[in-house]
Every structure is written in C-alpha cells, then in structure tokens.
Amino acid sequence: MTSPDAAPKAGLEGVVATSSAICHIDGGQGVLAYAGYDIHDLARDASFEEVCHLLWHRRLPSRAELGDLQSDLAAARRLPEAVSRLMRSLPPGNAMDALRTLVSSLAHSDPDVGDRSPAAAYRTAVRLTAQVGSVVAAWGRLNAGGGVIEPDPALGHAANFLLLLTGRRPSELEARALDVALILHADHELNASTFAARVTAATLSDLHSAAVAGIGALKGPLHGGANAEVMRMLLEIGADADDARVERTIRDMLARKTKVPGFGHRVYRTEDPRATHLRRMSQEIGERSGSTRWYEMSRRIEAVMKAETKIDANVDFYSASTYYMLGIPIELFTPVFAVSRIAGWTAHVLEQYANNRLIRPRAEYVGPEYPQPFAPLDRR
C-alpha cells in the first residue's frame, strides 16, 4: 500500500495495492498475460479449464491434471436442489440481482464453507466455478420459459453452458467461441470486482462472500454491462442499415459527445489484446450462420472510431455480437462475464489467503478544520 501521506489519486489510478503472481498487464504495449503466458497463445491453443488451472496453480496442467479438473467441474455442475428451488421462487428481474442472491445461497450447500485451508478453499473455488455457469444458464432458461436441463458430463465448461442455456448441443465452433471468450475474460489484475473480492477475503471472510462482493462490483455500469450497451446500439441502428447510416449514427453520437460503448480502456493505450480474438470469433460465427451483418456493422463502427478519435475497441465491443449470435440474451451478457471471471476472483482470493494482511488503506481528510468548537445542544 502507499503511505498515508502520499498524494491521493482519484480512483486509486496507478496505485500499486498488492503483489500478485496471477496476471500481468502492460497497457502501453498491449500485453495481457496469465502467470507469464501470453493471452494470444492461451486464446489460440488452450481451453478455459486449462486456464482455470493456470490461474489457480500458476502453471498449465498435465493431461492427467486436466482430466481430474474436468471431472471435478462435471461433478459440481449440477446445482443443489435448495438453490434450484430458490431460483424458481425469485421474481423475474435483473439477472445480476439473481446471481448475487444465488451465489450467496450456494454457501449453505458447500461442505467446505468456512474452511480456509488451502485444500478446502481450492475445492470451493472449483465448485463455485462450475456452479456459477450453471446458475446463469439456468436463470436465463427459466426466464425464457424453458425448463432446467441437466448438464452433460461429456461436454466441456463452455459447451455445457450453451447446452443448459439454449437446450441444444452447440456446434464445435460455437463451443470454441464461448471457450475463447471465457479465457479472455478470466482475469484482469486488480479491476474493481477483483479488488472488491480481495478486500473481502482479506478480512478472512469466506470465499462465497468474496465472490458476492465481486458480483456486486461487477453489477455497476462503470465496470460491467458495456457489451450489452454495444448490442443495444447495434440493434437500434438496425441490421438492415447501410454503411452510410451506420457512419452517420456514430458521427452524430460523437458530435453530441455521447459515449460510444465498447471503445477505450482504463489501462490499454493500444488495442485491447482480447478484442483481437473476439473480432475473429464474431466474423467466423457470422460466416457459419450465413449472416455477417453484425460483424460488418461492428467493423464499420470501429473504422469510424479509429478515424475520428484514434480510440481502439475494447473487449466488450466484439463480445457483444459474438454472444448475440451464440443465442445468449442481452440481459445475460454481464452475468456471462462472471461465469468467466469467477476463475480469476477465486484465484485472487486463494492468493490473498496464502499471504494475508487486512487491506486497510488511508484517506486524505478534506473535511472541516480540526478542532471544531463544540457547542452544547441548547446553544446550537
């Protein structure tokens, strides 16, 4: 932590709050790495399950270790009956509200709850990673009027999510597209939700509470939700809009100083390295489905933004069209972020537990001058 007399920085920008071996970002060079592995290599050649192991253990798994992890995730994917009943009792509404409630309720069925030993905390991390995906998919399916589907132990994490949400087995390309998206969103150093989770864990609260803190931070529109706004923008422009209309809409937004969602990043000064892969997935899914209109619109918007503002697309911009073409409802876009980021949140909580110190920064006092003269009540 910085010293109490250091100059305060709004939003703690640039302040180093802890040391971590999980994630490295070089915003100037456009580098994102998990435990030393470049995100481009992971997105091309790894699976989400391999990345989970990497975040939790700082090394990629052997074939046997990966098999064990896949089996553990499969065993934990089915939701406890009490949680399923609670889900059905909740009124329709904000999916993040439901996720916050349901993840909290999972603690009541976790056999390791309250045990912060490394082995028990790791088991909970695996369990939570499996269950958050099931919660989001089941909530989405119930709200669409469908029935809850049993997970398929033969499918991986991404494929199971799409099965539980849509009711059909995804194609290999669809499963891989979501798998890549989960890899790209799995961690991003001390972003708001991860920092919230670590602060909670530093009090020696349980892992479920830390995850709920992360979900609460993610719900805020300054952290989560940008890709949903991107998709709403695309839909408002209209799938049948020609290039001239697309360009006119974006230039009008810029003239009104209206923020164009999906562009710019607090950390990166180059293209967000995650956008590179989601751009490709958006194109490939569009081509496979027979309609590349959302991708083409996105490319046109990106070209206008580059020409007018020199601002690059971020991870949210192309994840919007990718998720939409995968059949994921817009209201689930932010919860899907949590389906991925739960791996990073839990990795940071495990790291915090391993070398814990209560996170207690200081604030620069800017209130009334001290000491203030105190007047008794009858003289005020």
How far from 29 is each of 61, 102, 263, CA to CA, in Å? 28, 39, 17
Q: What's the pLDDT score for residue 108?
A: 97
Q: Contact 280/335 with Cβ under 8 angstroms?
A: no
Domain with 188, as residue range(s), is: 69-220+335-354
Whether 214 and 264 share a structural domain: no
Residue 24, in any domain of the structure: no
> Edge-to-edge strands of the sheet including 23-26?
23-26, 31-34, 37-38
Residue 200, in any domain of the structure: yes
Whether 73 and 123 share a structural domain: yes
**CATH number of the domain residue 312 falls in:** 1.10.230.10
Q: What's the pLDDT score for residue 93?
A: 84
**Ranges of residues in the chain whose predicted pLDDT is under 70:** 1-8
CA atoms within 13 A on the CB side of 59: 4
Q: What's the pLDDT score for residue 266?
A: 79
Whether 117 and 204 share a structural domain: yes
Residue 128, in any domain of the structure: yes
Q: What's the pLDDT score for residue 6?
A: 57
Whether 208 and 276 share a structural domain: no
Instruction: Say whether 348 is catalytic.
Output: no
Structure tokens at 250: 């974006």
**CATH number of the domain residue 180 falls in:** 1.10.580.10
Catalytic residue among 179, 185, 316, 348: 316
Instruction: Say whether 265 is catalytic.
Output: yes
Catalytic residue among 208, 265, 277, 348: 265
Rounded to two decimals, what is the model's pTM? 0.94
Whether 146 and 110 share a structural domain: yes
Whether 349 and 253 share a structural domain: no
